[in-house]
Amino acid sequence: MSLRFALLAVLSSRPRTGYDLLQIFDSSVDSVWHAPHTQIYPELRRMEADGLLAAEEVPRGPNSTKRAYTITDGGRDELRRQASEAVPPLREKDPYRLKAAYMEWASADGAREQFVLHLAHYTAWYERWRGRVEALRSREDPVLRERLAAQPPELHDEIVAVKVFAYEGLMARARMEIEWAERGLELVERFKGPGTTTAFDHAA
């Protein structure tokens, strides 16, 4: 249901096409969630069928149209409902920690490479999320501006604050992952450096 929630949330500020949503999700701005077009387009159709969205064919050049989706009152109700319904957190399923727990089976190079990738990944995302927080605080982000324009001024501080809070949560996660990967690299050097043996080497 997260995809549906995210779509409703983005469409609550103004109508957009599937392609618009794809850009927002996948590349530029809203780096909390993502989805490929193969998931977005069918979901928009289903949401329209469920009465959460209304679609309009708008012209595009002389011989073509595109579908713009507008949130309906029912869609806004559903957005409020999903935002307000507390869902119990899921049990952890953590593939990184799982893999680390059985690192004795890994080659030195494989283990090292995994942590190098981990470090690079979360370092890059940390920077990206930091940029988002700045764009939100300064209220220069274009998607945020459209959102604020669609809501009364007395809500603006809350809207900005909760988004900053969300991205700061992602930044905290990234910092944790970076520190963990650095400790991982130390472990690799300690146990898989020259002159050591590991379960990996006990081949049949």
Partner DNA sequence: TGTCCCATGTAACTCGTTACATGATTGT
Partner DNA sequence: ACAATCATGTAACGAGTTACATGGGACA
Of 169-188, binders to its own copies (CB under 8 A) are 169-170, 172-173, 176, 179-180, 183-184, 187
**Burial group, residue 195, by CB count within 10 angstroms (0-12, 13-18, 19+):** exposed
CB of 20 to DNA, least distance (A): 6
3-state secondary structure of 14: coil
For its own copies, the binding residues in 130-159 under the rule CB under 8 A are: 151-152, 154-155, 157-159
Contact map string, positions 49 to 68, toward DNA, x by CB under 7 A: -----------xxxxx-xx-
- Which of these, 52, 50, 49, 54, lies nearest to 69 by C-alpha position? 54
Q: Pick what 89 binds: its own copies, DNA, none; C-beta below 5 to 8 Å, kind-dependent.
A: its own copies
Residues 68-107 close enough to bind its own copies by CB under 8 A: 73, 76-77, 79-80, 83-89, 91-107
**Beta-sheet strand order (sheet of 53-59):** 16-17, 65-71, 53-59
Question: Which residues lie near DNA (CB under 7 A)?
Answer: 1-4, 17-20, 22-23, 35-39, 41-42, 44-45, 60-64, 66-67, 90-91, 93
